[in-house]
Every structure is written in structure tokens, then in C-alpha cells.
Amino acid sequence: MNLDQVKAVVTGGASGLGLATARRLIASGGKVMLLDVQDEAVKAAAATLGAAASYRSCDVTSESAVESCIREAAEWMGGLNLAVSCAGVATPGKLLGRDGPLSSAIFTRVLAINTVGTFHVDRAAALLMQNNAPDSDGERGVLVHTASVAAYEGQIGQVAYAASKAATVGMVLPLARELARFGIRVVAVAPGLFATPMLAGLPKEAQDSLGTQVPFPARLGRPEEYAELVATICTNRMLNGTTIRLDGAIRMAPR
């Protein structure tokens, strides 16, 4: 897929990895619809990107809302060939915490946003992509999941988050195998420690300390580096059915 032909939806597009991805795609001539549950933030984000961007307020846990927003995105862009799922939460909680057992409602909410939300996007996007005209390799679209190194090395207090991201990874290969007949690729990115809103609430000293845990480069990842990998996934058609760690060689400790 040539980047100047990209017509994308990006969830979690108001900030962090999603906004950086939208900015990268638009810089190469693509068009992007930002989807985010934060109404004012996503509106403001789209305004910074110019005429090649638009936005919709969208709760990815709602199947009907995702379907509607992705359909509207395709109508506005004149098609859809890329869906990047960046919407997510990292609500911490131990199974047996100081205040008692972890609430099943908290566990379910994290999976609803991170995993089921990604499924909703895949489902609605693939439904439209299957009807795209194929390119010279028969490609019609690309689905990108945002996983996490927590899928492999979940820390204490990350039972919900790690489960949600492991499931996001687990979806990739079966979807890639199923959608191959339509020419739709599926790839996940598993970031390590990145400078996103999830970490922004920490003091700078704490952020710097986390960065030094990364073997190389010894710093937090930048959203632009995630965005650059998404661009590479778009252009390299042999990337399919896999999860790519983007983590500076970090392997998370138990806590």
C-alpha cells in the first residue's frame, strides 16, 4: 500500500500513539478519520492536522457506534483501506488487593475497551475492505492492532491489562489466515515503555527512571516511532499475521 493512497481510521486518535500515527500518514499524503471517546480532545486533534483529517466521537465498546463511524469515515474519504486500533486503557489492579479481590467489572471493562473494541474495529473495517479493488498483489486493506509487551511479561497488578493485550495478540494470526482470501493483512505492534498519556501523569523523575530500564535506547519510546512502524507495515506487504515488539529490548520485571 502506498502511503499517499491510505484512507485510514485510527481509534484513540485524540492523543499519543493514535495522533502520532494520523500525523505520519497525513504527512505522506493519506487521509485519516480520528475516532475517540474524548469529544473535545479529538476535535482539537483533528483541527491540528488540516483538511486531510476529520473526526468522530466514538466509544469502541459499542458495536453499533463503531460500525456507524467507520461507515461515515469511508464515505468521507471515498473508501477505507487501513484501520489502526490505538484506543486502550491500562487500569491497574491486583487480583487480591488491599481493598479485597479485583472487581470483575474492572477486569471486564479493560477487556471491553482493549480487546472487544479492537474486534469491533476489525469487524466493521474488514466488512468494507473486502469490496475494495485489489492492487497488483491482490491487497485490499490492512488492520493494525496495538498490543503491549505486557502480553508477554505482564507485571503484578496488570492481570486485566495483560490479559487484554494477550488476547489482542492472539487474534492476529487467525484473522490474517481468514482474511488472506480478501487480501487483507493483519499485524500487531507491541510497544514497550512509551511516552503516552498513560505515563504522562507520572513525575518527570519517574518517567526518566522508567526510561533507564530500556537497554537501548535508554529512554521512553516516542509516539512518532510507533507511527513510523505503522507506516512500514503499510508499505511492506510481507508483514502479515505477526506481532512486532517495539521495545528497545526491554523485558519487564515482575513489578
User: How far is 228 from 249, CA to CA, in rounded Å?
Assistant: 18
pLDDT tens digits, one per residue of 98-148: 999 999 999 999 999 999 999 999 999 999 999 999 998 999 999 999 999
For residue 192, the model assigns a pLDDT of: 96
- As a whole number, mean pLDDT of residues 45-70 equals 98
* Partners of 55 in beta bridges: 34
Which band of pLDDT confidence, cut at 50, 70 and 90, is reported for residue 202? low
Is 201 a residue whose pLDDT tops 90? no
pLDDT band at 198 (very low <50, low <70, confident <90, very high): confident
Q: Which of 55, 152, 161, 226 is catalytic?
A: 161
Res. 169: pLDDT tops 70: yes
Burial class (CB in 10 A: 0-12, 13-18, 19+), 4: exposed
Decide if pLDDT at 207 tops 80.
no
Q: What is the pLDDT of residue 55?
A: 98
**Mean pLDDT calculated for residue range 60-87:** 98
Count of residues making up the chain = 255
Specify the pTM: 0.96
Give the whole-angstrom CA distance, residue 254 versus residue 176. 32
Calpha distance 102→92 (Å, rounded): 10
Q: Give the list of residues 6+ apart from residue 122 with CB closer than 8 angstroms, or none.
A: 83, 85, 143, 145, 171, 175, 186
Residue 161 known to be catalytic: yes
- pLDDT tens-digit series, residues 182-193: 999 999 999 999
Give 173-184 pLDDT, tens digit per residue. Answer: 999 999 999 999
The pLDDT, as a whole number, for residue 210 is 82
3-246 sits in which CATH class?
alpha beta
What confidence score (pLDDT) does residue 221 get? Answer: 95
**3-state SS assignment for residue 130:** coil
